[in-house]
Amino acid sequence: LDPDEFRRLGHAFVDWVADHRARITDHDVQPAVEPGSVRRLLTDGALAGGLPETPQPLEELLRTVDEVVVPASTLWQHPGFFGYFPANASLASLLGELLSGGLGAQGMLWSTSPAATEVEQVLLDGFARALGIGEAFTFDGGGGGSIQDSASSAALVALLAALERAGGGAWRESGTDGRERVYVTAETHSSLAKAVRVAGLGARALRVVEPVPGTVSMSPDALAAAVAADIAAGLRPVMVCATVGTTGTGAVDPVRAVAAVAAAHDVWVHVDAAWAGVAGLCPELRHVLDGCELADSFCTDAHKWLLTAFDASLLWVRDATALPRALSITPEYLRNAASESGAVVDYRDWQVPLGRRFRALKLWAVVHGLGLDGLRAHLRGHVAMAVDLAAKVRAEPGLVLAAPPSLALVCLRADTGRGPEADDAATRTLVERVNASGSAFVTHTVVDGRYVMRIAIGAVTTQPEHVAALWQRIRADSAALRREPVQ
């Protein structure tokens, strides 16, 4: 492609995206496809002879995307998508992605693309201030932020920094010795268990701390007891992960009290606020981040609820030297005067991969195009919809809230009056019926052993009418189920 041809085709591709988004509700949120069907369509069709040996017109790709890819895609940008947590890919962020790909910069070192590094630094400092997590997390304040590919990677590198600190650097030479311990709760995201495994600590390193009675949030007293017992047993507490907005129900650990316990034993505090952390942009919601200013690392995903296309996980550390100390390895070919001057940040030392994309451009496009006020309006709109939905659930016979609503997440279940098994079966049927409708998609969790429907409001285009339509369906299905004879 030369630039002129790119311009011509680029218009067609942008038109395709615009049309797809404009008509997204013509499609079901979730496709009804059998495993292997896409492979079969491709190997019998567009890729029947294997990969093309000769150049093919790129317009043809759009046709195949329409015929094969879209019908087999779960449409996360559909306003009826209420599953998991959202994966916002606003059109503004796509324009930023285009700039990033257009520049094609690889920002592993400051010197390989000074702008990629410094734009990211300025944006992350700005977001640390806008979220209110504290000046200590900014580069100006001695800490700093980086954009990782995922909250999972963020947890892994935070753990590696914690291991480095706990071992006084010995970990780099000798690795782990089986005495390291990492504290989580039963509700902590599985990415922490994965980080523990990838770091080579083994599952025995994971200590599941009891919750505050009657909640699922980490008990600071139980944490203190676990840490004290482990130290007495000759083990080495390395990191505690506090969650702000658990994946199941959006529960929040008491970060301030957890951090106080950790501080007494110099244990690294990582806050996983992958979904909920962005709520800190709204002063009236910032209470969910109480105590996060005391953490050693804090992560929130712009690619979940902050309008930024995957991938853009924002990770801050209060000590800008912590990640490079743990991760920096410098072969000769990466040596350069700027790095050696100590005056620059080399983001390769803040992550596992060497190479890195210029992700900051898409985040910049989002905040430039909407302003912080626009981001707040996006979040507030969804929270208001969730408040309204939760009130309706409370007032509805046959349905109950399965957990306190959290920001834009509502968890509900059937209450048949016929016991837990009947409730679970009814809730499962409700989830299946919503998803079979094609106009909405929800997922489930288990709370206190009970099957629960999760409604995570947060797609870019979700409006009150989409939540109202979902509610009408749930209500009607729930009423119909109550009229059905007991099996």
CB of 299 vs ligand PLP, minimal distance in Å:
8
Looking at the Cβ atoms of 68 and 151, the one nearer to ligand PLP is: 151
CB of 189 vs ligand PLP, minimal distance in Å:
3
CB of 353 vs ligand PLP, minimal distance in Å:
15
> Tokens 């047993």 appear where?
233
251 within 8 A of 215, measured Cβ to Cβ: yes
CB of 171 vs ligand PLP, minimal distance in Å:
24
Angle of the 91-103 helix axis to the 3-22 helix axis, nearest 10: 160
202 within 8 A of 238, measured Cβ to Cβ: no
Q: Is 318 helix (H, G, I), strand (E, B) or coil?
A: coil
Quote the tokens at residue 297. Answer: 């690392």
- The footprint of ligand PLP (CB under 6 A) covers 85, 150-152, 189, 191, 243, 245-247, 272, 274-275, 301, 313
Looking at the Cβ atoms of 244 and 261, the one nearer to ligand PLP is: 244
Looking at the Cβ atoms of 148 and 219, the one nearer to ligand PLP is: 148
CB of 247 vs ligand PLP, minimal distance in Å:
4
CB of 105 vs ligand PLP, minimal distance in Å:
23
CA distance 48 to 61: 14
Looking at the Cβ atoms of 344 and 360, the one nearer to ligand PLP is: 360
- Within 8 A by CB and 6+ apart from 406, the residues are 245, 249, 250, 251, 252, 276
CA distance 134 to 161: 20
Looking at the Cβ atoms of 85 and 471, the one nearer to ligand PLP is: 85
> CB neighbours (10 Å) of residue 12?
11
Looking at the Cβ atoms of 39 and 194, the one nearer to ligand PLP is: 194
- ∠ at Cα 58 (52, 60), nearest 5°? 80
CB of 151 vs ligand PLP, minimal distance in Å:
4
What is the longest distance spanned by two Cα atoms in the chain? Answer: 77
Looking at the Cβ atoms of 148 and 339, the one nearer to ligand PLP is: 148
CA distance 304 to 93: 13
Q: How many residues does the chain have?
A: 487
CB of 456 vs ligand PLP, minimal distance in Å:
9
31 closest CA partner among 63, 59, 70, 60: 70
CA distances from 478 to 84, 449, 482 (A): 22, 21, 6
The phi, psi pair for 452, rounded to 5°, reads: -135, 140
DSSP secondary structure string, 189-216?
-HHHHHHHHHTT--GGGEEEPPBPTTSS
Looking at the Cβ atoms of 267 and 299, the one nearer to ligand PLP is: 299
Looking at the Cβ atoms of 133 and 274, the one nearer to ligand PLP is: 274
CA distance 277 to 145: 14
DSSP code, position 219: P
How do strand 236-243 and strand 268-272 relate by DSSP bridges? parallel
The rounded Cα 288 to chain-centroid distance in angstroms is 16
Looking at the Cβ atoms of 289 and 481, the one nearer to ligand PLP is: 289
CB of 35 vs ligand PLP, minimal distance in Å:
23
CB of 154 vs ligand PLP, minimal distance in Å:
8
CB of 243 vs ligand PLP, minimal distance in Å:
6
Sign of the four-CA dihedral 133, 138, 142, 144? positive
Looking at the Cβ atoms of 117 and 152, the one nearer to ligand PLP is: 152
